Amino acid sequence: MEPHHGLAARLRAIATEAGLAGFGICAADPFPEVREEIERRVAEGSHGGLGFTYAGPDAATDVGSSFPWAVSLVVGAAAYLPPAGSPGPPMPGTGRIARFATEDHYRPLREALSRVAAALAGAGFRAEVLVDDGRLVDRAAAVRAGVGWWGRSTMVLAPGAGPWLLLGSVVTDARLPTGRPMVRDCGTCTACVPACPTGALDVPGRLDARRCLSAIAQSPGVIPAEFRAAMGDRVYGCDDCLEACPPGRRLLEAAAVERGRVDLVEILAADDRTLLRRFSHFYVPRRRARYLRRNALVALGNAGGPAAVPVAAGFAGHPDPLLRAHAVWALGALGGPAALAALAAAAARERDPLAAAEAAAALEAAPGPGSNGSR
């Protein structure tokens, strides 16, 4: 059967009219080389325990296993800059949200791809939208369709937008003319590698999720102590490697509106329902608000200032030992007589092994008499 060239042109026009920054079509064939890479990372542990495509690499790299009728993938890319803005300079008592998450920036992408899917359905074909969906490795599809190229940072980069993109696809049984991958790469540019605050880009084109602050903020359990200072005022996500990427500089400079800065005390004072509703577009492990508070406590320790001490001290008595553990760390990081007195009191009454160990470590690292109390 010949590809439907006229339909493909119409789909491109729909995508452009809907505001997508990139569009391409590729065959819905498996991605065996990506499956091998995912399996290698899982085997060595560099996936950092992340789920999503790592949890089901066979399905994620073979869309036909979920959609046996799949013939083509219609791939779209939505740029979230400049609308996502920039967080502006650090401010005591505030944290920052990565630009992709200042709101649900996937919504315009879903809406645009839904229009593409509707056009396919109207032409008599099956179509399903896959956005932020573990059944497809969306970056690999975007590269195959010619929407962008693999960046050294592991992001897909596109001309004019760089890495500031969200990706999605429509899987369809329509046989459409396919594009070709871009004959382009990052060349000699390594700007993203030193920009990573934890050295997570240890091998070009590979990310060690165990060291990636964005991945750590989305993982359950304790934030490793060795990465807490590097978290800075981050509450969710990290943009450092994206900010360093030259192809994305034009959009970054245009993102002048200040967005993405949040009040840490307000987050810590909110109840579960309020937090999960406000940040419903975040990936929060098991949809438990404790992880948002955990992140906020680390940011509070790094950027809270003296007014944060009573808040951290209050959480040092929280019923959840995970939050107590991060609260006593925050008290030690804040320093000063009031913080250290609260830390000592918390350590004296603590019986949970995790929180007790954190309190002891914070006391041991605390400045001695005569110090100004900061570190």
Q: What is the distance between the alpha carbons of residues 74 and 167, in angstroms, rounded to a whole number? A: 11
Residues 157 and 221 in one domain: no
* Judgement on whether residues 120 and 227 belong to the same structural domain of the protein: no
Tens of pLDDT along 356-370? Answer: 999 999 999 987 654
Per DSSP bridges, beta strands 94-97 and 261-263 are antiparallel
- Are 283 and 351 members of one domain? yes
Q: Are 355 and 325 in contact (CB under 8 A)?
A: yes
> Is 140 part of any domain?
yes
Domain encompassing residue 213: 198-237+260-362
How many domains would you assign to the chain?
2
Give dist(CA 167, CA 138) in Å, integer. Answer: 6
Instruction: Give a yes or no: residue 107 inside a domain.
Output: yes
Position 245: which residue type? Answer: C
Residue 254 lies in a domain: no
Domain of residue 104, CATH code: 3.40.109
Give the H/E segment covering residue 97: strand 94-97
Runs of H (alpha helix) within 255-352? 264-269, 272-278, 290-303, 309-315, 321-334, 337-349
Q: 324 with 316: CB under 8 angstroms?
A: yes
pLDDT class for 252, splitting at 50, 70, 90?
Answer: very high
pLDDT digit string, tens, across residues 202-246: 877 788 999 999 999 999 999 999 999 999 999 999 999 999 999
> Are residue 207 and residue 146 in the same domain, yes or no?
no
Average pLDDT value over all residues in the chain:
93
- Is the Cβ–Cβ distance between 375 and 335 less than 8 Å? yes
pLDDT in tens, 1-25: 678 899 999 999 999 999 999 999 9
Q: pLDDT tens digits, residue range 267-287?
A: 999 999 999 999 999 988 888
Same-domain check for residues 348 and 213: yes
- The DSSP symbol for 65 reads G
> Is 203:33 a contact under the CB 8 Å cutoff?
no
Specify whether 153 is located in the same domain as 220. Answer: no
Assess whether 47 and 120 both reside in one domain.
yes
- Whether residue 28 lies inside any domain: the answer is yes
Residue 93 lies in a domain: no
7 Rama class: left (phi>0) / alpha (psi -120 to 50) / beta? alpha
Q: What is the pLDDT of residues 12-68, one digit of tens each?
A: 999 999 999 999 999 999 999 999 988 888 888 877 767 667 677 888 999 999 999
Do residues 110 and 219 both lie within one domain?
no
Residue 350 CB partners (closer than 8 Å, separation 6+):
324, 328, 356, 359
The Cα–Cα gap between 59 and 31 comes to 10
One domain for residues 22 and 119:
yes
Q: Is residue 317 very low, low, confident or very high in pLDDT (cuts 50, 70, 90)?
A: very high
Helix (H, G, I), strand (E, B) or coil at 182: coil
Phi, psi of 228 (to 5 degrees): -70, -40
324 assigned to some structural domain: yes
Name, in order, each residue with C-beta under 8 angstroms of 2's C-beta and a sequence gap of 6 or more: 175
Tell me which residue of 128, 143, 22, 149 sits closest to 78, measured CA to CA.
22
- Clarify whether residues 273 and 205 are in a common domain: yes
Query: Does residue 247 fall inside a structural domain?
Result: no
**Is residue 126, in this structure, part of any structural domain at all?**
yes
**Are 136 and 204 within one domain?**
no
Q: Do 116 and 17 belong to one domain?
A: yes
What does the DSSP 8-state code read for residue 174? S
